[in-house]
Structure 1
Amino acid sequence: MEKIKMKTPLVEMDGDEMTRVLWREIKSILLEPFIELNTKYYDLGLLNRDITNDEVTKEAALAIKKYGVGVKCATITPNKDRVKEYNLKEMYKSPNGTIRAILDGTVFRAPIITKVVEAYIKTWKKPITIARHAYGDIYKDVEMKVSKGKCELLFTDENGNEERKLIHNFDGDGVVLGMHNLNNSIESFARSSFNYALDTKQDLWFSSKDTISKLYDHTFKDIFNDIFEKEYKEKFEKENIEYFYTLIDDAVARVIKSEGGMIWACKNYDGDVMSDMIATAFGSLAMMTSVLVSPDGNFEYEAAHGTVQRHYYKHLKGEETSTNSVATIFAWTGALRKRGELDSNKELINFSNSLEDAVIETIEKGFMTKDLALISNFENIKVRNSFEFLEDVKNTLLDKIL
């Protein structure tokens, strides 16, 4: 068959460890035989980030702003042990955090569902997508251990005027934290969430705790409501989808009793926790997609999991691994499909859909990696190693498209 051509480049960001190994194999086995890949390549592997003083991460993010769509391999965010292991110049920041900040994006995470792995919540029939506001709150907090004394919140405006509020009079040892957010970041979060709901034609929920946090959380609620009423209400009605706000404890109860199929927008910490809960309840973090969406229409796709360090060390020793590559494959298909949509390239869209179907069909025929085999009730399981699974998917794909 003639290879599919791409009109506009895709920003390709390579990564680390076992996911880097699989990245190369996915391209070689599942993509390059069928597509004339047109990518702008950036090596976000930890060693190259160190060589470039992490400038390569910023360059990749700016390239996404230029070309509109990127696909990213999992990367290491170094701790002290990694700094020593890789002999790094410094402890570099999370590449994902850098890219999110430059794109001003919101992270959307959704499970990949197959019949061979049942959700732990029996009512869940459709994916539940978590939209996480990836700025502020405790992730940019300031913390302090205190003893007996008075703690105040002080704000000094640009004219030097001060406003103070008592936090607590401490009779003994304690701890305090201060956190913040920005209205323009919350607005970007809201618009990205509304746009993604329209793009995927799903209901959108937003939850916080405005009854307790009458200024901080209430600001989120008010911004979402104002933007919806002014910019999105008619669009939602036209698509027959719904937006509503509820308290986060009520949202949890509603989600558990639902059949799924909605986008649940959460503040930063809530989204961090709930996305892992959703992933586990649907079966596996290795079956979780992640897409960063900016309010001005840029998209970055990746797997929700990390670099699979333990399997990488086994791979280096020449030992067999059975690493689940599904979310990484879906990062590629998501990016290629979006590239196709933006370029009106139906062939690329159809191929992306066919490859995703081939992955699911392969698993539902019983060919799967060890992590899925351990949680599946399927009777005729054939456990495949990291590379055999990719070949199995290719065979299923060829049956579909030839």
Structure 2
Amino acid sequence: MEKIKMTTPLVEMDGDEMTRILWQQIKDEVILPFVDLKTEYYDLGLVHREETQDQVTVDAANANKKYGVAVKCATITPNAQRVEEYHLSQMWKSPNGTIRAILDGTVFRAPIMVKGISPVVRTWKQPITIARHAFGDVYRATEYRVPGPGKAELVFTSDDHRRTAHWQTVHRFEGPGVLQAQFNTDQSITSFARSCFQYAVDTRQDLWFATKDTISKQYDHTFKDIFQEIYDAEYKEKFESLGIEYFYTLIDDAVARVI
């Protein structure tokens, strides 16, 4: 049997531990006998990330950007224990987070429906796809271990340094604690919204969007507003013509509706 020819290389991102063995087995048994496989290989194993000071992750992401498609194996995001185990110079960031930031990517988790395997909720008849915005938030958060009593403040200073646009107390600590500051950008949220709307159009699936804007009146509410603006301006007519629906609701209600 003649093998399938590839014209564009596949970016191959090798991973850690057992995934290296499994990926090699998949290639040997399922791919290589049938496909003339062409890949651009990047070793994202933790040892090689340490050796390259994580430059290999950036190079792999840029290759993905160039060729448009990649296969990435599971990788270790090191904690303190892994730093000691692998003798790392620092606690390297999540490769997934680095790659998604460079690609401006959105994570879609789409289930595969298999005959004979019943869904956990028996009333589910169609797959439910989960879209996750993977920029900013905890991936780019700034953290601080508070040693003792003191005041934590949130400060924003404009680039011209003529005024402080925002300054408020986050919390007055009476003892040790922990701080985490998160952020996002309108540009990234807009890109995320368009990805979600386009995915819904391509798959002809309804799109539900949920946040906790009743509690997060600035951060989450900004997501809600941008999604609505993009929908009204670019996707409302497309959704109506396809007979699919977009609506916003609180995260509590979304969970209840799904179940």
**Cα deviations by residue, 1:353-394 (Å, 9 ceiling, x for unpaired):** xxxxxxxxxxxxxxxxxxxxxxxxxxxxxxxxxxxxxxxxxx
Structure number with the bigger relative contact order (C-alpha 8 A, sep ≥ 6) is: 1
* Corresponding residue of 2:77: 77
| Equivalences, count | 255
How has the CA–CA distance of structure 1 residues 215 and 72 changed in structure 2, closer, same or farther, with 3 Å as cutoff?
Answer: same
Q: Which amino acid counterpart does residue 238 of structure 1 have in structure 2? A: S
* Corresponding residue of 2:97: 97
| Structure 1 position 125, deviation (Å) | 2.7
| Structure 1 position 183, deviation (Å) | 1.1
Partners of 1:90 and 1:231 in 2: CA distance? 44
Whether 1:24 and 2:31 are equivalent positions in the alignment is no
Match of 1:223 among 221, 226, 231: 226
Contact 1:78 1:93 in 2 (8 A): yes
Taking the TM superposition and a 5 Å limit, the aligned residue runs for 1:304-343 are none
* Corresponding residue of 1:112: 112
Taking the TM superposition and a 5 Å limit, the aligned residue runs for 1:19-168 are 19-139=19-139, 140-143=141-144, 145=146, 151-160=152-161, 161-162=163-164, 163-167=166-170
Partners of 1:39 and 1:20 in 2: CA distance? 16
Whether 1:199 and 2:202 are equivalent positions in the alignment is yes
Taking the TM superposition and a 5 Å limit, the aligned residue runs for 1:243-322 are 243-256=246-259
**Cα deviations by residue, 1:1-24 (Å, 9 ceiling, x for unpaired):** 221122222211111211111111
Q: Which amino acid counterpart does residue 29 of structure 1 have in structure 2? A: E
Q: Which amino acid counterpart does residue 160 of structure 2 have in structure 1? A: N
Partners of 2:82 and 2:152 in 1: CA distance? 37
Q: SS of the counterpart of 1:61?
A: helix
Partners of 1:81 and 1:151 in 2: CA distance? 29
Contact 1:190 1:227 in 2 (8 A): yes
What is the TM-score of this pair, normalised by structure 1? 0.58
Give the unaligned 5+ runs of structure 2: none
The structure where helix makes up a greater share of residues is: 1
Partners of 2:92 and 2:23 in 1: CA distance? 23
Q: Which amino acid counterpart does residue 230 of structure 1 have in structure 2? A: A
| Structure 1 position 217, deviation (Å) | 1.2
Q: Which amino acid counterpart does residue 159 of structure 1 have in structure 2? A: D
Contact 1:141 1:180 in 2 (8 A): no
Partners of 2:8 and 2:217 in 1: CA distance? 47
| Superposition RMSD in Å | 2.4
Partners of 1:213 and 1:80 in 2: CA distance? 32
Q: SS of the counterpart of 1:111?
A: coil
* Corresponding residue of 1:242: 245
How has the CA–CA distance of structure 1 residues 50 and 138 changed in structure 2, closer, same or farther, with 3 Å as cutoff?
Answer: closer
Taking the TM superposition and a 5 Å limit, the aligned residue runs for 1:344-355 are none
Whether 1:2 and 2:2 are equivalent positions in the alignment is yes
Contact 1:6 1:38 in 2 (8 A): yes
Partners of 1:231 and 1:14 in 2: CA distance? 38
Match of 2:188 among 182, 185, 190: 185
Give the unaligned 5+ runs of structure 1: 257-402
Partners of 1:48 and 1:208 in 2: CA distance? 38
Partners of 1:241 and 1:164 in 2: CA distance? 43
* Corresponding residue of 1:13: 13
How has the CA–CA distance of structure 1 residues 215 and 22 changed in structure 2, closer, same or farther, with 3 Å as cutoff?
Answer: same
Partners of 2:168 and 2:112 in 1: CA distance? 47
Partners of 2:143 and 2:226 in 1: CA distance? 25
Q: SS of the counterpart of 1:194?
A: helix
Q: Which amino acid counterpart does residue 47 of structure 1 have in structure 2? A: V
